[in-house]
Amino acid sequence: MKQSWRNFINSFKPSYNVDVTLYHFIPGMPVKANRTRHEFKKGEFNEAKTFYERASEKTKDANVAPVEISLVKGKDRIVSSRLFGPVKALKQLRISA
């Protein structure tokens, strides 16, 4: 009985995603972005947050740049985001190209 109530309550909670965008920049070529989305079920905020933290730590340790990692609630509401490297400048280059 308790499990069915938990499932009922979880059906109203939002789903979470962790988006990892890796930017490729070669001078003289347009900026390319490779986006990977890791989806989590409804109500799994803690799992998504721990994955977001681990991905940020591994990116910082591996010294991979430029990378943008975002924790997204629902379809498009960004809860938190971390930028590694000159991501803002590359986004402007990508928009203008």
Determine how many CB atoms are found less than 10 A away from the CB of residue 45.
16
Rounded Cα distance between 56 and 36, Å, is 14
- The DSSP letter of residue 15 is P
Q: Would you state the structure tokens that stand for residue 81, as one six-digit string?
A: 């985001």
Q: What is the pLDDT of residue 32?
A: 87
**Residue from 43, 41, 40, 39 nearest 10 by CA:** 43
Q: What is the pLDDT of residue 94?
A: 66
Can you give the pLDDT of all 97 residues of the chain as single tens digits?
A: 778 888 788 788 899 999 999 998 888 888 888 999 999 999 899 999 999 999 999 999 998 889 999 999 998 899 999 999 888 888 777 665 5
Rounded Cα distance between 24 and 74, Å, is 27
